[in-house]
Structure 1
């Protein structure tokens, strides 16, 4: 049986980014660049003023204390004439520096009287001047392939005149939930039935990752119907199933995939929860079979599917961020498999705190309520204690307040795990 790290490496080694597409810059927010981007011009395009103030030649101050104001340079317009020694021009922020000027003094730092100015304090040559090309030069590389386009990157590219960009496609994911016991939301479950919560849980995570979700109808535990649904889902960029991957009489997902030409990457990983997770490809299309238990499905999504999605979408680093945190409750050491515990992250006095959820059952959704991180407990490791520093995998950014023991959904009981 593979370890978590071995299984993750198998996933990342198997997948490559999806084809690129060209988008208008505003529509590329959140995408990963598929090509390096270079500047089309210098920025700033000319020496200009960083302040509202007065521009002049610094050498003028060595000749006289006061300077004659010869006119105004506006942003977008400038000043057409050369400024002579002993003169100054009132200048607005961003206006090109007039010929003959090399220094700017801020409005609040001068005394202005009858068309003349006098600096209130010493002025250095080059003060408040932004020089041509100091941000970037024409032809300079601005962003590398794989960079995530957030607001700052969008602004940078706009300043360089980049109107359209090549970005990797976001995956279209077919989501198939299996099981005769499942009913749709809005239907009251009968004896032996449960609501298909996995559809909504995994759909929400897919949308959080920027994917297009293609929900397929619930597949019954019948070979014909299941194979038909699986074949339909293989038209997507990635097929994701929940349920039917263990060893029961009606766990038919892998068998039906085999009928479609499934190439096995792995089945079963030495983790808890989520041991029976399945991964492979059918004619190049990646397929994940997640366990049917909600917490196990969510954990294996975070551990394997999210990195796969980010690899397909071309992001430079497909792995989730980690941080150090202080444990707020005792945790039993690892058993024969590496354990992953849901928990909440809070900030207190400049440090992060990790509080394990008291409910860690793989069959419950309750343990994932308010969960922001997963704590990996290695196999055969000793117990962890309150106050120990641990490393956790972040799902969401930490909250800014620490509510302490006794918060809703959290207590100090020893977390327990099942399959």
Structure 2
């Protein structure tokens, strides 16, 4: 069989995501929409703050009445505004977050006053000032776009949407995911593993990676190296939006993922990526279902899921920026020059930057479990030295932190 030339990583990611149409949105309570992606721009339905507020505890008085003494004639507390009108020589006690009186006023901090009964005077030269007033609308005004379509909801954005007057909104639907791991060497029970077997860990790993970005994750497997069994596994997950497989994507005599996909009726989109680890990655489609055939080595499976499966799930859920975002960190070590594939080096985050783990073999699970990040190295890059600034993907939170 003639093998296709590996395609560049960025081209493969763009090709995977270019035809993605987000799933139909659904309306949900904002308070329960953590990790969902907005399916609409969200405009403020109210102004925040709705009136001038005091930013400090103290006393409010007329703006042109800055010498004192003053007579305290009332109080404005958060949720309980002063309802009267101030006259020269008068002041009110005011709390942080409380409404300012309707007149043009200033605030005298409580630590700068001396009060005896209702008589108030300055205790030091730091007098009344408008600096301690939060003006109406300083945060946002009615009609302002608070959150753009495609952003991921997190605790701060949930609070902002609610403060803007939204109890519910339209969010992208989370995709349904199926996971298949395959290979005669896989044992379903990690407690009872024969000498010629290994525990089937990739399926659980991939399912766990998908859960934060999926509505439902189902597993099939482990499946042995049998064409009919693999076709049946695909058929059992045919209602999934995305099927992620592990193993069998290469070209050995027992690598049956491609023929199984063809037998199931899927069309191969592309296969083999110029990346390390993860070269055998395969992408196929059948109707509305996209299949990602990932390598069987656990590191390769994890890295390709991070760079392809999770972005695909986020794109289907309506993310405006589905790809993981790299940050720039100094290298806390040394790396050799790069060959003809984009390389991803497992690393831990240290005080002096990203430190490559000592074991980079694609089967090394101890090193993978301890890694915080992937250092990206471009094709043909020269050797890198300690302190060189390199792009780094953070593995936690799917690379979107």
Once the two structures are overlaid, the 10-residue window that deviates more, 81-90 or 256-265, is 256-265
Match 1:68 to one of 42, 47, 71: 71
Cα deviation digits, residues 279-319 of structure 1 (max 9, x gap): 12110211100011111111211221122122122222222
Query: 4+ residue stretches of structure 1 with deviation over 6 A?
Result: none
Q: Is the 8 A contact 1:261 1:283 kept in 2?
A: no
Cross-structure match for 2:378: 378
Provide the residue aligned with 1:118 in structure 2.
121
The corresponding residue for 1:90 is 93
Aligned counterpart, 1:102: 105
C-alpha contact (below 8 Å) 2:35/2:212 kept by paired residues: no
Provide the alpha-carbon RMSD of the alignment.
2.1
Matches within 5 A, 1:9-408: 9-61=14-66, 65-119=68-122, 120-123=124-127, 125-209=129-213, 212-348=216-352, 352=353, 354-396=354-396
CA contact (8 A) 2:190 2:200 kept: no
- Aligned pair in 2 of structure 1 residues 249, 158: CA closer, same or farther (>3 Å)? same
CA-CA distance at 1:241 after TM superposition: 0.5
1:66-101: CA deviation from partner (whole Å, max 9, x where unpaired):
111112223222122211122111122222222335
TM-score (norm 1): 0.87
Gaps of 5+ in 2: none
For residues 208-252 of structure 1, the C-alpha deviation after alignment (integer angstroms, 9 at most, x for no partner) is 556632112322222222111112223112110001111122222
Q: Bigger CA drift: 41-50 or 116-125? A: 116-125
Alpha carbons 2:332, 2:350 under 8 Å: kept: no
Contact conserved, 1:84 with 1:100, CA < 8 A, in 2? no
Shift of residue 324, structure 1, vs aligned partner = 2.6
- For 1:331 and 1:211, the matched residues in 2 are separated by 40
Q: Give the aligned length.
A: 391
Q: What are the superposed Cα offsets for residues 244-285 of structure 1, whole Å, 9 maximum, x if unpaired? A: 111122222222212333232211112222111101211021
The question of whether the paired residues in 2 share the 8 Å contact of 1:176 and 1:233 is answered with no
Q: Distance in 2 between matches of 1:211 and 1:363?
A: 30
261 and 121 in structure 1: CA distance in 2 versus 1, 3 angstrom threshold: farther
CA distance in 2, matches of 1:339, 1:71: 69
Query: Structure 1 residues 130, 259: closer, same or farther in 2, change over 3 A?
Result: same
How big is the shift at 1:196?
0.2
- After TM superposition, give the deviation of residue 9 of structure 1 in Å: 1.1
- Aligned to 1:329, the other structure's residue is in SS state coil
Q: Give the CA deviation at 1:122.
A: 4.2
Q: In 1, distance between residues paired with 2:244 and 2:229?
A: 16
Q: TM-score, normalised by structure 2?
A: 0.91
Please list every run of 5 or more consecutive structure 1 residues that lacks an aligned counterpart in the other structure: 398-419
Please give the secondary structure, in 1, of the residue aligned with 2:323.
coil
- Whole-angstrom distance in 2 between the partners of 1:264 and 1:293: 22
Alpha carbons 1:55, 1:101 under 8 Å: kept:
no
CA-to-partner distance for each residue in 1:143-186, whole Å, 9 max, x for gaps?
11112211211121222221112111222211011112211133
Aligned residue number for residue 403 of structure 1: none
